[in-house]
Structure 1
Amino acid sequence: MEVPQSFRDMPRWWHGGAGWLDRLPALVADWCARWRLTVTGAPVHGSNALVVPVARGEDLFVLRLTPPGPGVAGQVAALQFWDGRGTVRLVQADVDAGVMLLERLDFEGSLARAPSLEAVEVLGRMMRRLAVPAPSHAPSTAGMVARRLTAMPAEWRRLGRPFDEVLLDRAMAAGARMARADSDLAVDGDLHSGQVLRGEREPWLIVDPVLLRDDIAYDLARVLWTRLDDMPGPDSILQHFRIAVGAAGLDLDRCRDGVLNRAVDYWLWGLAAGLTDDPRRCRRLVHAIDGPGEGGG
Structure 2
Amino acid sequence: MASAPHVGPPQRLVRSLGADSPWLARLPELLAGALARWDLSAERVVAPGGRGSLVVLVRRADGAPAALKLRADGAAAEAAALDRWGGHGAVRLLEADPKTGALLLERLHAEVSLRSLPEAKANLEAVSSLRRLWVPPAPGGGGHPFTTVAEHTARAAERIRRHLPAEARALADEALELCSALLADAPEELLLHGDFRQGAVLSAGPGRAHWLAVGPDPLVGERAYDLARLVRDRLHDLGATSGASSLTRRRVRKLADALEVDRERLRGWSLYRAVESASRHFAAGAGADGEMLLEFAGWL
Report the TM-score range of the alignment, normalised by the length of the smaller protein.
Answer: 0.7 to 0.9
8 Å contact kept, 2:113–2:199: yes
Judged with a 3 Å threshold, the aligned counterparts in structure 2 of structure 1 residues 176 and 33 are, in CA distance, closer, same or farther, namely closer
User: Residue 293 of structure 1 aligns with which residue?
Assistant: none
C-alpha distance after superposition, 1:186-225 (max 9, x if no partner)? 1111212222211131121112112211211113332233
> What CA distance in whole angstroms lies between the structure 1 residues aligned with 2:152 and 2:183?
8
Aligned residue for 1:43? 45
Q: 2:190 aligns with which of 178, 185, 188?
A: 185
- Give the TM-score normalised by the residue count of structure 2: 0.80
Confirm whether residue 247 of structure 1 aligns to residue 258 of structure 2: yes
Is 2:130 the partner of 1:127?
A: yes
> Aligned with 2:166: secondary structure?
coil
1:90 corresponds in structure 2 to 93
Q: Give SS of 2:297's match.
A: helix
Is contact 2:193–2:226 with CA below 8 Å preserved after alignment?
A: yes
Structure 2 unmatched ranges of 5 or more: none
Letter in 2 for 1:43: V
Q: Does residue 271 of structure 2 align to residue 260 of structure 1? A: yes
Deviations, residues 25-70 of structure 1 (Å, cap 9, x unaligned): xx44x5445434444x322133321322324435322222345x5x
* CA shift for structure 1 position 248: 2.5
Q: Which moved more, 1:52-61 or 1:179-188?
A: 52-61
Matched AA of 1:199: A
Counterpart in the other structure of 1:238: 249
Q: Does the CA-based 8 Å contact 1:190-1:210 persist in structure 2?
A: yes
Please give the alpha-carbon distance, in whole angstroms, between the structure 2 residues aligned to 1:245 and 1:89.
Answer: 28
* 2:287 is aligned with 1:287: no
Q: Partner letter of residue 19 of structure 2?
A: W
- After superposition, where does 1:25-104 map in structure 2 within 5 Å? 27-28=31-32, 31-39=34-42, 41-44=43-46, 45-47=49-51, 48-57=53-62, 59-67=64-72, 71-104=74-107
Letter of the structure 2 residue corresponding to residue 19 of structure 1: A
Distance 1:20 1:147 in 2: 28
For the 8 Å contact 1:54–1:63, the answer to whether it is kept is no
Deviations 1:95-115 (A, max 9, x none): 223222211101221223333
What's 1:292 paired with? none
Q: How many residues align?
A: 279
Between the aligned residues of both structures, percent identity stands at 30
Indicate the SS of the match to 2:126: helix
* Correspondence 1:119-268 to 2 at 5 A: 119-135=122-138, 136-137=143-144, 138-146=146-154, 148=156, 151=158, 154-155=161-162, 159-163=164-168, 165=170, 167-180=171-184, 181-200=186-205, 201-231=208-238, 232=241, 233-268=244-279
Distance in 2 between residues matched to 1:16 and 1:104, nearest whole Å: 28
Q: Is the 8 A contact 2:38 2:60 kept in 1?
A: no
CA distance in structure 1 between the aligned counterparts of 2:279 and 2:70, rounded to whole angstroms: 32
TM-score (norm 1): 0.81
Q: Find the counterpart in structure 1 of residue 25 from structure 2.
A: 19
Query: Do the aligned residues in 1 keep the contact of 2:149 with 2:219 (CA within 8 Å)?
Result: yes
* Distance (Å, rounded) in 2 between the aligned partners of 1:90 and 1:268: 32
Provide the alpha-carbon RMSD of the alignment. 2.8
Distance 1:146 1:129, change over 3 A: same
Letter matched to residue 252 of structure 1? R
